[in-house]
Amino acid sequence: MPTPRRRDARRNRREILRVADAALTRGTDPTPLPEIARLAGVGRATVYRHFPDRGGLALAVMGQQFAGLDRLVEDRAGDPAAFREALQAVLTAQATMRPLVTLLRELSPTDRRRNADRLVAALMPSLRAAQAAGAVPGDLEPRDLEVVFAMLEAAVARTEDLPDAEREAVVGRAIRALVAGVCLTREES
């Protein structure tokens, strides 16, 4: 049985994750672990004691993001509109959390697959409710969502050289188009 962490160790871990979440969800480049340690007010060794490398920290931050998505889906259980909201949130996060996406790409193929499976699993309850209500085509398969995520990645990559405001506008339109392409309007259902 694992020994419980000391209170200060739990606090340090929470602070590291809070700082890492903020650092990995804005900007374009991943913040180095020594900088995360400095911002969290802990030593580098403390960060490495909790997270063996950047990939481990990225997976922990992603775990927090999944917990938020799980809460969103759970809070709106049975609501056919919840899938649209959840998909919009996931795509927006994917477009804006570029440092986290960069680190997730560096993971092993097994960890990337596990991460993709976890994301699709988080969306499944709201997807099935939306399909049952006719708000999403019944033949949409869970793995089709990975194609939608790849389409957004392609759109984001094509905007790298644009000024910030223009990039945000283009990516915003791409997200709206992808959500509209997956979710049916009342007239279509």
149 burial level (CB within 10 Å; 0-12, 13-18, 19+)? middle
Mean pLDDT over each residue of the chain, to the nearest integer: 89
Q: Note the pLDDT tens digit of each residue in 40-73.
A: 999 999 999 999 888 889 889 999 999 999 999 9
Mean pLDDT of 114-120: 93
pLDDT of residue 29: 78
Residue 189: pLDDT above 50?
no
* Reduced 3-state DSSP string for the chain: CCCCCCHHHHHHHHHHHHHHHHHHCCCCCCCCHHHHHHHHCCCHHHHHHHCCCHHHHHHHHHHHHHHHHHHHHHHCCCCCCHHHHHHHHHHHHHHHCHHHHHHHHCCCHHHHHHHHHHHHHHHHHHHHHHHHCCCCCCCCCCCHHHHHHHHHHHHHHCCCCCCHHHHHHHHHHHHHHHHHHHCCCCCCC
Residue 5: pLDDT above 70?
no
Residue type, 69: L
Residue 186: pLDDT above 70?
no
Determine if the pTM surpasses 0.95.
no
Residue 77: pLDDT above 70?
yes
Residue with tokens 């209500």: 133
Residue 2: pLDDT above 80?
no
pLDDT of residue 98: 87
